[in-house]
Amino acid sequence: MRARAGLLYLLVHVLARARGQYDLCKSLVSTDEGAVWEHYACQPKAQAMKEYMRIRVEPPGITCGNPPERFCTLENPYLCSDECDASNPDLAHPPQLMQDRERSGLITYWQTVTWRRYPEPLQANITLSWNKTLELTDDIQITFEYGRPTVMVLEKSMNFGRTWQPYQYYADDCVDAFTMAPRRARDLTAANITRVICTEQYSRWVGSKNEKVVRFEVRSRFAIFAGPRLLNMEGLYTRMESMKGLRDFFTFTNLRLRLLRPALGGTYVQRDNLLKYFYAISNVEVLARCKCNLHASLCLFVDGNLQCQCEHNTTGQDCQRCKKGFKAKTWKSGSYLPTPNGSPNTSRFKLHFESSNFGTSFSNSEINTHTPTHIFITAIDTLGAAGKTQTNVCDDELLLCQNGGTCVQNQRCSCPPDFKGVLCQQSRCDGGKKCNGASALTLSLALLLCPLLATLLGSAAS
């Protein structure tokens, strides 16, 4: 029967891991000591983040429609029959239209005022916020209607907008706009994969109907280590562990578009028709995953915010710390190494016992018959003679079954006939003596891997 149970656990374990790389944080496996949890590095799947983003447009009054105004198209600047009117839902172009789902082929878009005040610059900032740390998994795509900007900057923040840094520069002439030589992401190498570049690929006029999309090319950078079809993601993950700053390069909390000069439809501004110059964005696509520090496989939208569903006894919006009461020497992010499944970064534990009855502390020593009533677990770098390695940084899943008791699957100790209690710490005999003269239990023999609830330990009877 036990052999069959072991095969069943093994089958569940294999099937669980077959779901996909980093899909699961743990699975139940069979060992000589019984069923135990085996932990893995894990991360949520990538998802479209545009439906969760908050949009702020600056400066105030940059969105068209208040007061209403006409605008023209670059292809036909003499046809100025279109109108923007914030008071009319059919003619309004508010910021939220950058993230809506367009149905029935009807394109909706946010739009700015026209360049009536030329030569005063027509500039706008679009800040995208999630109140969550994210990691890019694919290209960022911004779709412009009526022409792509001739000059713009994509920026990112890693601290919720307190500070910003450039992600990429865009211009029809990089030297003139930013004093930078133009580059393409596909020409980057392993040595300069995190370089901030200026590209002319998305800014030169080719017609507003033919080319609408501006990209921040993530896949081209991934391909340097994962291959052109991104089939060798292990190669990329390995480099993220060994190459300083690579993982951070794709990490952000906020994005910001700085639109500095609109599409011109040519080489210069025609002063006699300024109504054809403006910005219009119909869609912003950000494919990313929640950053959970490899401690969660799910990220859910809870109370208006994305939240990692933390495993490994971690907590926080990014699983960035240990749960209260689960003490680890140092918190660490999970690791993509060793491949292919990574590691949640193990901690080894030392058990510290304190008796409130006798004021005595016992640590990595024999436990006498005066079993302590309060048990404290402190994570350090050594476990003692047993040498059992726990499988995550905040793991408290140790159950000390005393006096010959054994850990069983339902998170409790199975006690020998002469003992009782949550941890088999109480003698059934008078006077607290062992009935059968059992020898004092050493810590090294008592340690067994088994899931443990903190509340269970806290309530151990005296």
What pLDDT digit, counting tens, does each position of 222-254 carry? Answer: 999 999 999 988 889 889 988 889 999 999 999
DSSP code string of 203-242 = TS-S-TTT--EEEE-HHHHHHHHHTTTT--HHHHHHHHHH
Mean pLDDT of 415-429: 76
Residues 99-154: pLDDT tens digits?
998 776 789 999 999 999 999 999 999 999 999 999 999 999 999 999 999 999 99
* Total Cβ atoms within 10 A of residue 17: 16
Please state whether the predicted TM-score (pTM) of the whole model is above 0.75. no
Write down the pLDDT at residue 20: 63
HSE-CB for 138 with a 13 A CA cutoff = 14
Query: Is residue 287's pLDDT more than 90?
Result: yes
* pLDDT in the model for residue 313: 85
Is residue 84 predicted with pLDDT exceeding 60? Answer: yes
Q: Are strands 165-171 and 198-199 parallel, antiparallel or unpaired?
A: parallel
Question: What is the structure's pLDDT at 12?
Answer: 45
φ, ψ dihedrals at 219, nearest 5°: -60, -35
Tell which wins on pLDDT, 423 or 63: 63
Portion of the chain with pLDDT greater than 70, in percent: 73
User: 438 falls in which pLDDT band (50, 70, 90)?
Assistant: very low
Helix (H, G, I), strand (E, B) or coil at 410: coil
> What are the Cα distances from residue 389, in Å, to 235, 240, 349, 383, 397?
27, 25, 8, 8, 11
Confidence check: pLDDT of 85 > 80: yes
pLDDT digit string, tens, across residues 391-413: 334 544 444 567 777 766 544 67
Determine the Cα–Cα distance for residues 457 and 140; give it in Å rounded to an integer. 48
Q: Are 113 and 174 in contact (CB under 8 A)?
A: no
Q: What is the pLDDT of residue 282?
A: 96
For residue 444, pLDDT beyond 50: no
Q: Which pLDDT score, from 0 to 100, does residue 327 have? A: 61
Give whichever of 70-79, 286-295, 422-431, 436-445 has the largest mean pLDDT. Answer: 286-295
| pLDDT the model gives residue 317 | 93
